[in-house]
Amino acid sequence: MRDSAGGRAALAILATHHLAQNFLLVERGYVPGNLAVAGLLLGVGRRSGLRWEEMGLQPRDLPRGLRMGFLGSGVAASVALLALSHPRTRELLRDERASLPEGGRPWKRVLIRFPLGTALFEEVAFRGVLPALLSKHRHERSADAVSAVLFGLWHLIPAHRALSGNPLGLGRFRSRRWAVTLGGSIAAGVSGLALSWMRRTTGSLLAPWMIHSALNSFSFLAGAAALRSPGDSWRSSSAIAQRDDTPGGITSGGRR
């Protein structure tokens, strides 16, 4: 398989899977589906002539990736704790996606869904196979930039859907919801650039995978803790805001 054909194949796989993931796959299929597509992308990369080293999977680079991964994971944990300790940021952490049914087990998300279903798949795709294929025809920095843009676009639909369960989504104005959605997508793209830098610096996907996993897991745990913390729930604020037709009322309701 030629390099250009491999790149087109990888993009087609990602586009198809993106639609399937957001509109067809049920929750039970999330982790196995993403792992299967990650394996398929690795197969495309190998058929295109990529070496394991080019995709960040060379065993000799693991120690450097492990060191940076531990450091970044510690930073992620510290940021989550700081956000949880401040009333304003704690209110923004009250996300319905972090709620669990009675008797629910958060470890399934923290140890399986986030590190394997989300982080491993996205790192293989956007920091492993895709930039390596793109680097065959352009500079590494350009390839990382394109991959980061695609990573940001990948998060558009999930970010918009997530607002229905987050205080940032309060209010009737669609423009506000789309502005927050766009901001989330841009933030994902910027984080993608940072993760790509870690991948290039260490030579390994281990560092971005560990940090990506830590960010998702600690954010979820902080959100779950915020939902259980004492204080007014943002749901009541939402109800007040929905009865107030003025922009000021919606804004003040979202900040309570």
Digit-coded pLDDT (tens) for 88-121: 877 777 766 656 655 556 788 899 999 999 999 9
How many domains does the chain divide into? 1
- What is the token pair recorded at 19? 């639609």
Asked if 72 contacts 214 with a C-beta cutoff of 8 angstroms, the reply is yes
Task: Find the mean pLDDT for residues 65-76.
Answer: 96
pLDDT for 238 beyond 50: no
Q: What percent of the chain has pLDDT over 70?
A: 78
pLDDT at 240: 32
DSSP state of 165: G
Evaluate whether 204 touches 196 at the Cβ level (below 8 Å): no
C-alpha angle 254/237/88, rounded to 5°? 50
DSSP state of 134: H
The answer, yes or no, to whether residue 210 has pLDDT greater than 50, is: yes
| Residue 74: pLDDT over 60 | yes
pLDDT at 172 over 60: no
Lowest-confidence pick of 36-50, 103-117, 230-244? 230-244
Residue 96 is predicted with a pLDDT of 63
pLDDT-derived band at 33 (thresholds 50, 70, 90) equals very high
- Which alpha helices (H) appear in the chain, and where do they start and end? 3-23, 30-47, 62-85, 87-92, 107-108, 121-123, 130-134, 140-154, 156-162, 174-202, 206-228, 234-242, 247-255
**What is Dmax (Cα atoms) for the chain?**
60
Domain that holds residue 84: 3-255
User: Does 8 score more than 90 pLDDT?
Assistant: yes
What confidence score (pLDDT) does residue 89 get? 79
pLDDT recorded at residue 108: 87
Distant-in-sequence, close-in-space partners of 187: CB < 8 Å, separation ≥ 6: none
Residues belonging to the chain: 256
CA distance 152 to 23: 19
Range with top average pLDDT, 55-69, 173-187, 212-226: 55-69
Mean pLDDT across the chain: 82
Tell me the pLDDT tens digit for each residue of 113-164: 999 999 999 999 999 999 999 998 889 999 999 999 999 999 998 877 766 6
- Angle between the N-to-C axes of helices 206-228 and 62-85, in degrees from 0 to 180, rounded to the nearest 10: 20
- Report DSSP state, residue 243: T
Q: Quick check: 214 pLDDT over 90? A: yes
User: Residue 253 has what pLDDT?
Assistant: 36
Residue ranges of the alpha helices (H) in 49-129? Answer: 62-85, 87-92, 107-108, 121-123
Summarised one tens digit per residue, pLDDT across range 174-203 is 666 778 888 889 999 999 999 999 999 999
